Structure 1
Amino acid sequence: MKIFYAVQATGNGHISRAMELLPYFQRYGEVDIFLSGANNSLQLDAAVKYRSRGLSLFYTNSGGLNYWEIARQVAPMRVWKEVRDLPVERYDLVINDFESITSLACLFKKVPSVNFGHQASFISPKVPRPEHKDRMGEWILRNYARATQYVGLHFKQYDDFILPPVIKREILQAEPQDIGHITVYLSSYSDAQVRKYLQPLQEFRFQVFSREVKKPTSDGNILFLPVSKLAFNKSLITCTAILTGAGFETPAEALYLGKKLMVIPIRGQYEQFCNAAALQKMGVPVLKALDANFAAFFRPWMERKRKPCLHLDYSTEAIVSYLMHHCHREKQGSLDMLYPDAIFN
């Protein structure tokens, strides 16, 4: 079997998941990877056959999306050329982890595909949403990477096509410890912003994973560390608690390890507000921003004993087996029904 695997490279979560899934996909055949995106800190430890700048998200230094930079990176002629040239029709199975160019190429060439990953779960109305839904956010979740089949991943099985998170082997096999630090990963905040609100909490030690530093840098009660898979795993496994964005992979790993977890959704990123709504239902505290009120929330949270946990019912091998046995190519005739408002004719 020839498998086309499209990986969204905005942020680090998709790449982290891809590195875990790839060996299992390779048991079923030859896998060619399409890496799309221009804003990540981790490298994909595998041969990449196709690359694209894709349609990426960029962040400000104060917890939000940088809409100007996102718009500046859009290049319609480049995107159209990549859609036209991407050879998805040569493959027996197209697996798409929330990547828009692959989705458009499959739509243009009428090739079936499966949207596999966390974002696929939002096709279901049963998945938690924030109190105030965002119409544009909902549209993006449903249309950014449209497919003919969906297999979602989420904290709980909110619907029959949703499976548990894919947890890295290093986390699954770890013996959690508590050596007293708080792990911090807030990719949309600058080091200066993080320092401003964490440094006054002198009774706590923080390990902050940063986009800015090239080597470990101590600053009072804060150790700034460059983003690396090995260092982050070690910090997470040995921390007392973790403060991070409301993404999917890192909160799932923290819950699996039984760590205290607090999240701050990235402003303007609707998916994170949906995740925050799900985490809040599980008992995880959610903050609107890293600001002057942070210390008043942080200290009481650190004194709490109760910690929400995540229990897995599936192994990674079982998740891939489910995907492979339920997502075979469909007849071309079904595509017109699944894409009734196709933009290409």
Structure 2
Amino acid sequence: MNILYAVQGTGNGHISRAIQLYPFLKCYGNVDFFISGSNSDLKTDLPVVGRSKGISLFYKATGGLDYLKIVKSFSLSIFLDAYKLPVKNYDLVINDFDFVTSLACLFRKKKSVQFGHQASFQSSKTPRAKKNNLIGEFVLKHFVKSTHYLGLHFKSYDDAVFNPIIKQEIIDATPTDDGHISVYLPHYAIAYLEPYFLAAPNYHFEVFSAEVTSIRNYKNIIYFPISNSGFTKSMIRSHAVITGGGFETPAEAMYMNKKVLSIPIAKHYEQLSNAAALSELGVKVILHIDQGFNAIFTDWIQNTNPVKLDLTHSTKEIVAQLINQTKNS
């Protein structure tokens, strides 16, 4: 079987998941990867056969989406990329929220399966942000169109929604607690975050940021360049994790029974919906980092308990279900 796995390259979660799935997908045949998007910070050894600028998200220093930069990054070349993408050469097309591949399958009338976290929003049972957003809802449901869907979320909210896929490194790990707090907030600039962390001198922070190229120390903060394995190792040793409203990082932290503080990207409907799901589970969520942050942080770190995430399906079982999606149609 020839398999094409299309990956949305906005952020690091999609590529991280693809890296984890690759060994399992190889059991079913030859696997090629297509990456769309221009602002992932992860390097990968995946067999990538094509790339496109696609449609990427960019952020302001203070944590919100930079809509002007998003619009400026858009190029009509994505339509040519879609036309050239040889989806007909594959027995199975798996699409992790990539618009270009979705368009290519539409052009060629090719079946595909949308797989990943965004696919879970095809179900009305998946939690949504408290404030309804018609544009955000439309994007989640229609940005990528497929003939089949298999979603991932913190819980199995529906029949076609499965638990998160956790890195094997984390599954095999024995979590410890050396007291530090692992931080991954790519939508905030270091200059914005630093004063808040310095105002908590009794706590040590390991901050991962695309702004740094080498490890450096400053008082109670250690800055690290973006590294999938590096951040994983930091979380395994951590006392707690501060992250955005994404999917993979909170899931991995909860699997290891770490405290999580989630700070979703401002006005980002998917992240706000993830935050609603996390809040339902008992995870602390705040919408902004502002002058009240340090009081909230102190209460969270001293008085809250971690929320444990349990898996009902293994990665091997989820991949088998994914492969069978189109076989049974």
Return the alpha-carbon distance in structure 2 between the equivalents of residues 178 and 205 of structure 1. Answer: 12
SS in 2 for 1:198: helix
Amino acid at match of 1:32: D
Amino acid at match of 2:190: D
> What residue is the counterpart of 2:262 in the other structure?
263
Matched, 1:47 2:52: no
Matched, 1:108 2:107: yes
Runs of 5+ in structure 1 lacking a partner? 331-345
Return the alpha-carbon distance in structure 1 between the equivalents of residues 262 and 223 of structure 2. Answer: 19
Matched, 1:136 2:124: no
Return the alpha-carbon distance in structure 1 between the equivalents of residues 171 and 189 of structure 2. Answer: 31
Deviations 1:167-220 (A, max 9, x none): 001101010000010011000000101102111111110000011111111111
Mapping 1:160-309, distance limit 5 Å: 160-309=159-308
Contact 1:38 1:53 in 2 (8 A): yes
Deviations 1:251-290 (A, max 9, x none): 0000000000010000132110000000000000111111
SS in 2 for 1:50: strand
> What residue is the counterpart of 1:32 in the other structure?
32
Contact 1:181 1:240 in 2 (8 A): yes
Return the alpha-carbon distance in structure 2 between the equivalents of residues 305 and 46 of structure 1. Answer: 39
SS in 1 for 2:93: strand
1:329: how far off? 7.7
Runs of 5+ in structure 2 lacking a partner? none
Instruction: After the TM superposition, list the runs of 4 or more consecutive aligned residues in structure 1 that deviate by more than 2 angstroms.
Output: 326-330
Give the structure-2-normalised TM-score. Answer: 0.98
Contact 2:148 2:325 in 1 (8 A): no
Return the alpha-carbon distance in structure 1 between the equivalents of residues 328 and 301 of structure 2. Answer: 50
Amino acid at match of 2:266: R
Return the alpha-carbon distance in structure 2 between the equivalents of residues 80 and 130 of structure 1. Answer: 32
1:43: how far off? 1.3
Give the structure-1-normalised TM-score. Answer: 0.94
Amino acid at match of 1:148: T
Return the alpha-carbon distance in structure 1 between the equivalents of residues 268 and 106 of structure 2. Answer: 25
The percent identity for this pair of structures is: 47
Return the alpha-carbon distance in structure 1 between the equivalents of residues 300 and 156 of structure 2. Answer: 27
Matched, 1:318 2:317: yes
Contact 2:241 2:253 in 1 (8 A): yes
Contact 1:179 1:240 in 2 (8 A): yes
Return the alpha-carbon distance in structure 2 between the equivalents of residues 141 and 122 of structure 1. Answer: 6
Deviations 1:113-148 (A, max 9, x none): 000000000010100112111000000001111100
Return the alpha-carbon distance in structure 2 between the equivalents of residues 153 and 213 of structure 1. Answer: 32
Return the alpha-carbon distance in structure 1 between the equivalents of residues 326 and 235 of structure 2. Answer: 34
